[in-house]
Amino acid sequence: MPVLNADQILQRSEILRQKVSPCVLCPRQCRALRLQGEKGFCGMTDAAVLSDCLAHFGEEPPISGSGGSGTVFLSGCNAACLFCQNYQISRLRMGRTVSSTELAEEFLKLQDQGCVNINWVTPTPHLPFLVEALALAVACGLRLPVVYNTNGYDSVEILRLLSGVVDVYLPDMKYGENRWAESFSQMPGYVEISFEAVREMLRQVGPLELDSAGTARRGVLIRHLVLPEDTASSRLVFQRIAQLGRIPVSIMAQYKPCFEARKHPVLNRGLYPFEYREALKAFEQAGLSAGYIQDLKSLDVQDSYFPDFSKDAGDIFGQT
């Protein structure tokens, strides 16, 4: 559960609200006047837009835990990945506008269902509203850890406001070269920005810590999705992560062409098994040893709405 109490969390939400219009919540710094109805790159204005809330059992084992991760899927995104598997909500922005009170009720319902955490997916554009809802929920008895599940395109200044609010950070480090980050995801400067963001996350909560049941309690777990033709530059990503220390990494094999990637000359196919094996080799050669991999059967997974970590996606490197 958050270190801060409900009043302190509410204060953070008020500071975050000052960052939303003109909007500087993410490194894109659109400066859209969102509280006056203007949309920024992410398509969001003056309230959170919720796509779905559910107990999710397909995340990495310490995130799903025994009761499922209380996943809060939010609409819109500050990136524009050609291959986004959640494109209906990130790019087509399916969802309904919700008040902070409604969001707080959703968090409490997930706790009542037995979920092991509250997992905000793509939270950055919605932060003032999510944090306000968290304050309301904590005041009403929410005791679960908060997971910040992000693409890694986050600014250090905003992340500092989440210190004591977020317990577990689940950032992507998607790319090792900015040319691919720009052409596939429209994220200029991603390599340096995500590196500094993860450094700040580590400063706040350290590497992933598990409780006695093996469930994430606090800390950082980095995700990396291997892409066709090594366009994620996985080796460079792992070398950078190694500079940050012994941080657990979830290396994902589940890439498949979704949305605009279906027509792309490089991205229009799934991974070959050797591409994933090369990435695993690069991981070990970078001196990293802790993490989670996906079974290669993930390469055959058909279109699905959620990430599908197969049940035997093992911790081959040993528990972190």
Residues making contact with ligand SF4 (CB under 6 A):
23-26, 28-30, 32, 40-42, 44, 78, 124-125
Q: In the complex, what is the shortest distance from the CB of residue 174 to ligand SF4, in angstroms, rounded to a whole number? A: 16
Q: In the complex, what is the shortest distance from the CB of residue 153 to ligand SF4, in angstroms, rounded to a whole number? A: 8
Q: In the complex, what is the shortest distance from the CB of residue 49 to ligand SF4, in angstroms, rounded to a whole number? A: 12
Residue whose CB is less far from ligand SF4, 23 or 222: 23
Q: In the complex, what is the shortest distance from the CB of residue 188 to ligand SF4, in angstroms, rounded to a whole number? A: 12
State the residue number with the nearest CB to ligand SF4: 40
- 7: tokens are 């009043």
Q: Are 178 and 191 in contact (CB under 8 A)?
A: yes
Residue whose CB is less far from ligand SF4, 25 or 286: 25
Residue whose CB is less far from ligand SF4, 32 or 137: 32
User: Using only C-alpha atoms, what is the Rg of the chain?
Assistant: 18
The contacts of residue 192 (CB under 8 Å, 6+ apart) are none
Q: In the complex, what is the shortest distance from the CB of residue 45 to ligand SF4, in angstroms, rounded to a whole number? A: 9
Cα dihedral sign, 253-88-75-113: negative
Residue whose CB is less far from ligand SF4, 3 or 35: 35
Nearest to 20 by CA among 2, 1, 39: 39
Q: Calculate the alpha carbon distances from 120 to 71, 124, 245, 267 in Å.
A: 6, 9, 25, 27
Residue whose CB is less far from ligand SF4, 28 or 240: 28
Q: In the complex, what is the shortest distance from the CB of residue 312 to ligand SF4, in angstroms, rounded to a whole number? A: 37
Q: What DSSP string runs through 152-202?
A: S---HHHHHTTBTTBSEEEEB---SSHHHHHHHH--TTHHHHHHHHHHHHH
Q: Are 270 and 314 in contact (CB under 8 A)?
A: no
Residue whose CB is less far from ligand SF4, 40 or 67: 40
